[in-house]
């Protein structure tokens, strides 16, 4: 992409040809793209469904690689903030570029659907992209799968710990990346109403680990703004969905599944029955 390159893992279908489905997985805070790519390969084998698999790698400044590779300061890429070098491109720009490439009919003439899935910090990026991202080109369906993020972008000023009132003692709790009252990255141009309308119009599957309930989990956002959303990832997921339903009623394009017996484990989330259904439309998700 102009201004910088992105490292990624991809299966042979990346070279183009008669593939109908692509699955893009975004890694977590540890930036272990190889591990998520391997988990996605196992999921494809279990599903028995042909698909192009892609795992972009959002690098930190300390990671090895060439000077042309985009790199972010710690914690910036899950929030869609600009890269530190070699150009101030957003991680949202990276997702745009991937979807634009997959929309190329000369290269992928049969591609019909893209699944964009993120776990943990990757799910933070995907969840916010649902609201602000440009998406794919005409004729290409995109499903967004959000698994166990540490926080969500909210569309109102209420939080589950606030007894129905704004969290007045928590400065910045409703600013980006938690809300829309300021601090938005340069990528985001649209007003809040447009972002919310876009969000609820898109196809989203939420995967919530039923045992992702540890309030002291190493990578859990324990900031004031993070804790305002709930004590753990499972609670935060249910609180966010309750907010959406309170504002919009039934959500015909969005569905949530609790994954029994799974804590904060990306590979197990992807390879669960509901993970396989979300990624490859296999049966078996209750």
Residue 1, pLDDT score: 72
Report, as an integer, the average pLDDT of 203-212.
98
Mean pLDDT of the chain: 96
Query: Using one digit for the tens of pLDDT, what is the confidence trace for 213-256?
Result: 999 999 999 999 999 999 999 999 999 999 999 999 999 999 99
Query: Using one digit for the tens of pLDDT, what is the confidence trace for 185-198?
Result: 999 999 999 999 99
DSSP 77: G
Residue 166, pLDDT score: 79
Residue ranges and CATH numbers for the domains of the chain are: 7-150+192-216+235-280 (3.40.50.1820)
Task: Report which of 10, 35, 7 is spatially closest to residue 22, judged by C-alpha positions.
Answer: 10
Backbone angles phi, psi at 251, to 5 degrees: -115, 85
Length of the chain: 286
CB 159 within 8 A of CB 228: yes
Residue 164: pLDDT over 80: no
How far apart are alpha carbons 43 and 45 in whole angstroms?
5
* Model-wide pTM > 0.75: yes
Which SS3 state, helix, strand or coil, does residue 208 take?
A: strand
Query: Using one digit for the tens of pLDDT, what is the confidence trace for 108-125?
Result: 999 999 999 999 999 999
Residue 253, pLDDT score: 97
Query: Using one digit for the tens of pLDDT, what is the confidence trace for 14-46?
Result: 999 899 999 999 999 999 999 999 999 999 999
Sequence-distant (≥ 6) Cβ neighbours of residue 94 within 8 angstroms: 1, 6, 56, 58, 70
């Amino acid at each position: 992409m102009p201004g910088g390159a992105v490292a990624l893992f991809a299966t042979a279908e990346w070279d183009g040809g008669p593939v109908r489905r692509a699955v893009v997985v975004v890694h977590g805070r540890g930036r272990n793209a190889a591990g998520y790519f391997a988990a996605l390969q196992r999921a494809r084998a279990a599903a028995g469904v042909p698909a192009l698999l892609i795992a972009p790698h959002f690098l930190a400044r300390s990671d090895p690689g060439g000077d042309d590779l985009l790199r972010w300061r710690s914690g910036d890429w899950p929030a869609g903030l600009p890269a530190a070098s070699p150009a101030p491109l957003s991680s949202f720009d990276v997702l745009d570029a991937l979807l634009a490439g997959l929309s190329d009919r000369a290269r992928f003439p049969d591609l019909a659907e893209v699944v964009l899935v993120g776990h943990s910090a990757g799910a933070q990026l995907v969840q916010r992209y649902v609201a602000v991202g440009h998406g794919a080109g005409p004729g290409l369906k995109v499903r967004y799968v959000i698994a166990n993020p540490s926080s969500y972008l909210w569309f109102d000023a209420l939080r589950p710990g606030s007894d129905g009132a704004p969290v007045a003692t928590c400065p910045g709790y409703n600013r980006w990346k938690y809300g829309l009252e300021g601090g938005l990255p340069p990528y985001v141009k649209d007003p809040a109403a447009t972002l919310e309308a876009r969000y609820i119009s898109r196809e989203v599957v939420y995967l919530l680990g039923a045992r992702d309930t540890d309030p002291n989990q190493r990578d859990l956002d324990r900031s004031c703004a993070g804790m305002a959303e709930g004590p753990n990832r499972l609670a935060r997921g249910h609180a966010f969905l309750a907010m959406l339903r309170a504002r919009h009623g039934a959500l015909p394009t969005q569905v949530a599944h609790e994954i029994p017996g799974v804590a904060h484990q990306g590979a197990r989330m992807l390879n669960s029955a509901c993970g396989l259904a979300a990624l490859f439309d296999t049966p078996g998700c209750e």
